[in-house]
């Protein structure tokens, strides 16, 4: 089978490309990435040494160039990791988020229709549901309404709706995974876990938004990769799946744990002005993927975090 993976040089895309090549010995991966600031060039350099991997430096919005790739490569499956992914940047300026996350997805959907791709899988986020009050005991299901808060999550929700519209209107075979916050190797230093590690190791103050009580569900990127595999390999067309670990942590608890593991003082923490529109809490029901596809997270959070910190230190 031939997979086309967009955003293959990003955090999750690079982990997933390695995962797929390691676990599907017969398959070929075509990677597409335009290498924005968020691309991980060392990860890409390593990918380029792998057999059964071919790379195109291309923007998913560039119709002609993408058309040529589809024509030459005739992928069986397309998985869309390419995105502008940082909420703070979407608050500063949202245009590129709409271009890549919405129009980029739309361009890929048209190409999948045109070239008879067997499955288009969209990498989405739990942020499309909006947030819950901190004290809430509820969790979002796949049929919870989409109520995104930030321009980032609004662009992701728009993309999800487009994907489902191509399923309903054109009968395109699609699936969507809505995952919680990922952690692991190759993540850009602007994101919480690598940022805390980097700042602490440099002895810099570690900024935390607001009171630090905002709650996130943290899933190891390898567990997310296994979930995408389960969906792409076994889910019916039109399937939407939440992917979380159930490990819910207030940011302050996570940051203190990282500092403890690094042997650094909690005094490094500096509470800063809260992010505009900051989501309070994310929590996901993941019964559907467990019941239908037999997926379960395998990586214990304490082990995964320890290993991740060791990787960034190195």
Ligand X SMILES: NC(=O)c1ccc[n+]([C@@H]2O[C@H](COP(=O)([O-])OP(=O)(O)OC[C@H]3O[C@@H](n4cnc5c(N)ncnc54)[C@H](O)[C@@H]3O)[C@@H](O)[C@H]2O)c1
Catalytic residue numbers? 126-127, 152
Distance from first CA to last CA of the chain, Å, rounded? 35
CA-CA distance, 206 to 196, in Å (whole number)? Answer: 6
E strand residue ranges, 221-278: 239-243, 248-250, 269-272
The answer to whether residue 196 forms part of the interface with ligand X (CB under 6 A) is: no
Span of 22-30, 75-83, 231-239, 296-304 interacting with ligand X by CB under 6 A: 75-83
With contacts defined by CB under 6 A, name the span among 53-61, 110-118, 198-206, 294-302 that binds ligand X: 53-61
Pick the binder of ligand X from 104, 148, 184, 297 (CB under 6 A). Answer: 104
Q: How many CA atoms lie within 13 A of 85 on its CB side?
A: 26
In the complex with ligand X, the residue whose CB is nearer, 36 or 268, is 36
According to CB under 6 A, which residues from 114 to 133 bind ligand X? 123, 125
Residue with tokens 């996350």: 101
157 binds ligand X (CB under 6 A): no
Helix (H, G, I), strand (E, B) or coil at 63: helix
Shortest reach from residue 265's CB to ligand X, in Å: 27
Q: By C-beta, is 230 or 264 nearer to ligand X?
A: 230
Q: Does 232 engage in binding with ligand X (CB under 6 A)?
A: no
| Token pair 């709409």: residue | 98
Binding positions for ligand X, 246-265, rule CB under 6 A: none
Answer for which of 3, 30, 34, 247 binds ligand X (CB under 6 A) is: 34
Secondary structure of 155-167 as H, E, C letters:
HHHHHHHHHHHHH
In which element (H, E) is residue 121 found? Answer: strand 119-125
CA distance 227 to 237: 16
Give the residue, chosen from 4, 5, 29, 38, that forms a contact with ligand X under the rule CB under 6 A: 38
Question: Considering only residues 5, 6, 112, 269, which one is a binding residue for ligand X as defined by CB under 6 A?
Answer: 6
Q: Does 240 bind ligand X (CB under 6 A)?
A: no
Within 174-193, which residues bind ligand X (CB under 6 A)?
179, 181-182, 188
Cα 304 from chain centre: 17
Q: Which is nearer to ligand X, 38 or 117 (CB)?
A: 38
Identify whether the C-beta of residue 6 lies closer than 8 Å to the C-beta of residue 33: yes
Which conformational region is residue 203 in: left (phi greater than 0), alpha (psi within -120 to 50 degrees), or beta?
left
**Residues near ligand X, by CB under 6 A:** 6-7, 9-13, 33-36, 38-39, 59-61, 81-85, 100, 104, 123, 125, 156, 179, 181-182, 188
């Amino acid at each position: 089978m031939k997979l086309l993976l967009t955003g293959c040089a990003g955090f999750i895309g690079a982990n997933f490309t390695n995962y797929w090549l390691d676990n599907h010995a017969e398959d070929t991966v075509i990677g597409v990435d335009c290498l924005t600031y968020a691309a991980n060039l060392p990860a890409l350099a390593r990918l380029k040494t792998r057999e059964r991997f071919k790379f195109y430096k291309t923007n998913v919005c560039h119709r002609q160039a993408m058309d040529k790739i589809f024509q030459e490569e005739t992928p069986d499956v397309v998985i869309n990791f390419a995105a502008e992914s940082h909420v703070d940047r979407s608050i500063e300026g949202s245009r590129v988020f709409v271009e890549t996350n919405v129009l980029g997805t739309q361009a890929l959907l048209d190409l999948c229709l045109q070239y008879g791709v067997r499955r288009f899988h969209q990498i989405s986020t739990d942020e499309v549901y909006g947030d819950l009050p901190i004290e809430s005991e509820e969790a979002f299901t796949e049929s919870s309404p989409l109520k995104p808060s930030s321009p980032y999550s609004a662009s992701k929700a728009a993309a999800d709706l487009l994907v489902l519209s191509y399923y309903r209107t054109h009968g395109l075979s699609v699936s969507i995974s809505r995952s919680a916050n990922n952690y692991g190797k190759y993540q850009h230093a602007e994101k919480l876990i690598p940022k805390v590690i980097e700042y602490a190791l440099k002895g810099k103050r570690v900024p935390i938004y607001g009171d630090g009580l905002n709650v996130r569900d943290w899933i190891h990127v390898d567990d997310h990769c296994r979930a995408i595999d389960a969906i792409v390999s076994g889910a019916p067309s039109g399937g939407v799946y939440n992917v979380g670990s159930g490990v819910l942590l207030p940011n302050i608890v996570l940051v203190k744990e990282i500092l403890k593991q690094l042997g650094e003082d909690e005094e490094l923490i500096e509470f800063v002005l809260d992010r505009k529109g900051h989501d309070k809490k994310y929590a996901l029901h993941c019964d559907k993927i467990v019941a239908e596809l037999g997926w379960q997270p395998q990586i214990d959070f304490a082990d995964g975090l320890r290993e991740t910190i060791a990787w960034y230190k190195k």
